[in-house]
Copies of this chain bind each other. A is one copy, B any other.
Amino acid sequence: MATTTLPDPERLAACAREIADAGRDLGARGWTPATSSNFSLRYDDTHAAVTVSGRDKGRLSVDDIMLVDFAGNAVGTSARPSAETLLHVQMYRRDASIGAVLHTHSHNQTVASRLYAPAGLIRFSGLELQKAITGYTTHDSELDLPVFPNTQDMPELVDQVDAWLDAGKPLHGYLIDGHGIYTWGRTMAEARRHLEAFEFLLAVELDLRRLRA
């Protein structure tokens, strides 16, 4: 499926720099503890650039980014992609407008995922920052972030996301129980804005629970 000339070294390096910049910033916020988390950028219609498994996501270099096809197979390298690569390529396959996918593992994401797993989702409403999610133009709206059960079986996780999307429900990100968040955007900038917005919304929601207890 992959041609022998893939990847173009300069293009992959450009992807790597953009991913490493994001990683440095997100790592500095403490959202990528203990080599967790992974990031990707769309490379073309059938490939994505993703982080190599097990690297410190706050200190990524060009060698820490590799090419995969949309089945999750390494292309032009013997490196092993991040374990959750299938969840990245799923989004690129299903939505041609998606250009970047981010998975992080912050304190608030993990705590919220544990608390809201029984309900299956967190519903945000009345918060101005909902407008940071593309398509939302007012705080007077409802924004749902589903929480899927965790499993070490990636195809099972892929199926859960497919089922949500196949039901026609809007999806801008999701939590995995005990694990972290996935979110995305047309560009890395938009994906980062969405991630920053979800983190903020989760922190507010959790703190209101503490204060209203």
Q: How far is the CB of A27 from chain B (nearest CB, A)?
A: 11
Q: Are A107 and B33 in contact (CB under 8 A)?
A: no
Q: Using known A-B contacts A33-B197, A197-B34, A213-B213, determine if residue A110 contacts B129 with beta carbons closer than 8 Å.
A: yes
User: Are A179 and B139 interface neighbours, CB within 8 A?
Assistant: yes
1/0 per residue, CB under 8 A from B, across A143-173: the answer is 0000000101000000000000000000000
The count of chain A contact residues (Cβ–Cβ below 8 Å) is: 41
Interface of A (DSSP majority class): helix
Contact B128 A36 (CB under 8 A): yes
Report the nearest B residue to A176, measured CB to CB: B128
Question: Considering the chains assembled together, what is the distance between the CA atoms of A111 and B210 in angstroms?
Answer: 11
**Could you tell me if A179 and B210 are in contact, using CB atoms closer than 8 angstroms?**
no
A211 touches B111 (CB 8 A): yes
When all copies of this chain in the complex are counted, the total is 4
A193 proximal to B (CB < 8 A): yes
B126 touches A150 (CB 8 A): yes
Given contacts A110-B204, A111-B207, contact A196 B132 (CB under 8 A): no
Which of B115, B127, B178 lies in contact with A211, CB distance below 8 A?
B115
Q: Which residues of B contact A180 (CB under 8 A)?
A: 128
Apart from A33-B197, A36-B129: 18 A-B pairs, beta carbons within 8 A? A33-B132, A33-B196, A34-B129, A34-B132, A34-B200, A36-B128, A105-B128, A107-B200, A107-B204, A110-B127, A110-B204, A111-B207, A114-B204, A115-B211, A115-B212, A128-B180, A139-B150, A210-B210
